[in-house]
Amino acid sequence: MVKQQQQTTNNKLQTFKTMNIFNNYNFILVSKSPRRQQLLEGMGIKFKIKTKEINEKYPKEYKREKIPIYLCELKANAFADEIKNKKTILISADTLVFMDNKVLDKPKSYTDAFNTLSKLSGNMHEVITGVCLKSKNKMVSFYDVSKVYFKKLTKEEIEFYINTYKPYDKAGAYGAQEWIGYIGISKIEGSYFNVMGLPTHKLYEELVKFCK
């Protein structure tokens, strides 16, 4: 019992020290996504937000995780001039939805969104998020994969979701945190937060190593 209490105390002290170390850095989240901003805030990390329009094209030969990794590094490099000193760390991310190893992009129209959600209906797809950490002297990238299972959606459910939530800014034409996620997702294998756009558990681990 004494050893367990001592271990618990040591773990608390270590976490306290880690969070204090984070306070010594200036984090910049280069993302317009309100979900990523919310998740990073939930991790207790103080940060600024920087955004700009970036042409998010990737080599056609790239597959699966190579694509979000390439895109998050592209975003980080676009903001390299924001790194003023060794205590500044950029955080960028890119989330893509894959089905049968093909990217399901953000829908460009109502029909596009309807067709995408019809494909996801009753099937499993993968959500892969690439994350990049960049400072003045180093850059680290990593990714996480979550498997998402949708129930069979009715035509009326798909139409209601698109008309009400207009998911044109979301990869795969849906947000797991929205109505469609509540009524349609039957199971997730992996991180739910990764599906939202940021694998917070991996980000924390990588930041701890990055800041040492």
Q: Is the pLDDT of residue 120 over 50?
A: yes
Task: Give me the mean pLDDT over the 10-38 stretch.
Answer: 83
End-to-end, the C-alpha distance of the chain in Å comes to 32
Q: Residue 199 — very low, low, confident or very high, per pLDDT cuts 50/70/90?
A: very high
Q: Is the pLDDT of residue 191 over 60?
A: yes
- Give the model confidence (pLDDT) of 58-90 as tens digits: 999 999 999 999 999 999 999 999 999 999 999
Q: What count of other Cβ atoms lies within 10 Å of the Cβ of residue 162?
A: 22
Q: Is the pLDDT of residue 5 over 70?
A: no
- Give the model confidence (pLDDT) of 162-184 as tens digits: 999 999 999 999 999 999 999 99
Q: Give the mean pLDDT of the chain.
A: 93
pTM score, whole prediction = 0.90
Q: Residue 19 — very low, low, confident or very high, per pLDDT cuts 50/70/90?
A: confident
Three-class DSSP labels, the chain: CHHHHHHHHHHHHHHHHHHHHHCCCEEEECCCCHHHHHHHHHCCCCEEECCCCCCCCCCCCCCCCHHHHHHHHHHHHHCHHHCCCCCEEEEEEEEEEEECCEEECCCCCHHHHHHHHHHHCCCEEEEEEEEEEECCCCEEEEEEEEEEEECCCCHHHHHHHHHHHCCCCCHHHCCCCCHHHHHHEEEEECCHHHHHCCCHHHHHHHHHHHCC
In the chain, the domains with their CATH numbers are 2-210 (3.90.950.10)
Residue from 81, 94, 105, 144 carrying the catalytic annotation: 94
**Which amino acid, one-letter code, is at 50?**
K
**Which amino acid, one-letter code, is at 187?**
K
**pLDDT cut 90: percent of the chain above it:** 87
- Check the CA dihedral 16-20-23-28 and report its sign: negative
State residue 212's pLDDT score.
Answer: 84
Catalytic site includes residue 94: yes
Q: Which residue has the higher pLDDT, 12 or 46?
A: 46
Q: Is the pLDDT of residue 18 over 80?
A: no
State residue 20's pLDDT score.
Answer: 78
